[in-house]
Amino acid sequence: MALLVMLQEKWSARRDAQVRFLKLQVEILQSRLPGNRIIPDPVERRRLLKMGGELDHVVKDTLRIVSIKTYRRWLREEQGGREPKKVGRPRMPKSLRELILRLARENVGWGVRRIVGELKKLAVPASRGSIRRVLNEEGILPDPDRHAPKGVQTPWRKFIKIHMNVMVACDFFCKTVVTPFGRKTAYVLAFIHLGSRKVFLSPSTYNPDGEWMRQQARNVRAFHVRT
């Protein structure tokens, strides 16, 4: 009988040492967390309450990740049949996520701050952290890695390739023609959309002044929209 009591005491002492060892590890892990705060999700809450029930919910001295006040509130909510609220920020709308990815992919030189600024112009609120998280999930390098090193210019060939769908090249060609009033030089302004390779030719003119040039720019824009 004395041997049995001795073995039981030894086992209890070992169990207490194991509990203290586990508690120490929890304290160390908790001290490493940003803000020193843990927010259990609904499943974890139910598990804690179930195990706490095995201790008759007398857990004040062993509770580490939340306060006893929070634990008792959880218990009241569970006994009252209330479902725990979801924790964390709401998921970003799919449309906003797609817009962020489109801005990043179509504008290689833009970093996170530039994307935030462009979204603000559209009255679309989005934090730097949210944008950086979306880019990381898609494997797109975030700011500042998306920028070339300071002092290094984007090669012209690469710049053209990036912006082909929004660039139009133009130039004059001319021809000397004979008119009833003598020889004159007729000018034609040729445009080419770099992305589609569509070509637009202006009407010819003998006097390509500023107003005529502005009108041709408006004409080519209307042509590009229609086609």
Q: What is the pLDDT of residue 162?
A: 74
Q: In which band, very low, low, confident or very high, does the pLDDT at 220 lie, cut at 50, 70 and 90?
A: confident
Write out pLDDT tens, residues 174-189: 999 999 989 999 999 9
Average pLDDT value over all residues in the chain: 80
Rounded to whole angstroms, the Cα distance separating 128 from 116 reads: 7
Distance of CA 1 to the CA centre of its chain: 68
* pLDDT at residue number 216: 92
Helix (H, G, I), strand (E, B) or coil at 143: coil
206 vs 144, higher pLDDT: 206
Tell me the one-letter amino acid at 164.
Answer: M
Is omega for the bond preceding 144 within 30 degrees of 0, making it cis? Answer: yes
User: Of residues 206 and 26, which shows the higher confidence score?
Assistant: 206
Tokens of 71: 């634990």
pLDDT, tens digit, for every residue of 38-67? 778 888 888 888 888 888 888 887 787 788
Higher pLDDT, 173 or 55: 173
Produce one character per residue of 148-178: b if its CB has 16 or more CB atoms within 10 Å, e if not: eeeeeeeeeeeeeeeeeeeeeeeeeeeeeee
Region 151-177: mean pLDDT is: 78
Task: Answer with the residue of higher pLDDT: 81 or 142.
Answer: 81
Q: Inform me whether the pLDDT recorded for 32 exceeds 80.
A: no
Q: How confident is the model at residue 205 (pLDDT cuts 50, 70, 90)?
A: very high
Cα–Cα dist 127/37, whole Å = 22
Does residue 57 or residue 151 have the better pLDDT?
A: 57
pLDDT band of 145, cuts 50, 70, 90: very low
| Contact indicator for 168, 224 with CB cutoff of 8 Å | yes
pLDDT (tens digit per residue) in 88-111:
566 788 888 888 888 888 777 778
